[in-house]
Amino acid sequence: MSVKAVAKNVSVSPRKVGEVASLVRGRSVADALVILSHTPRASAIPVRKAIESAKANADHNHNYKPDTLVITEISVTPGMRLKRFRPQARGSAAEYIKRSSHIRVIVDGEMRKPKTVKKEVKADSKPAKKGSK
């Protein structure tokens, strides 16, 4: 079973995020976080946050060992686009587009053994009689 995390509407263009995502595709989560911490690109921050979120989901929600996690899939798709205008010469305007992206990370690894809970057996105690102290 694989665990996923999605970062939606990250305000960086999909092309820029895709270049950073290709650096860590198929690597272990620990290696990917080290690579992203030394990558001098602004898009490395949201990719790192998405990977850390997937790692936390796997550890907390699905009982995976954090040190065995591997990025099986990381994909970047275009998100919402905002059309904006910039003033130009002679009273005209030029349109430009602010692009965003969705980052989807899927990790897989080794699960922990489920914790066994030992139930305490209570000794049978006789109920106290009424009126006795």
Rg of the chain in Å (alpha carbons)? 26
Q: Which two tokens stand for residue 107?
A: 């990790």
pTM given for the model? 0.81
**What integer pLDDT is reported at residue 14 of this predicted model?**
97
Give yes or no for a contact between 33 and 52, defined as CB atoms under 8 angstroms apart: yes
pLDDT in tens, 19-28: 999 999 999 9
**Which amino acid is present at 6?**
V
Closest CA to 99 of 79, 114, 84: 79
Topology annotation, domain 3-108 = Ribosomal Protein L22; Chain A (3.90.470)
**What integer pLDDT is reported at residue 74 of this predicted model?**
97
Is a pLDDT exceeding 90 seen at residue 11? Answer: yes
Q: Which two tokens stand for residue 57?
A: 């989901």
* Number of DSSP helices (H) and strands (E) in the chain, helices first: 3, 3
Alpha carbon distance 43, 93 (integer Å)? 29
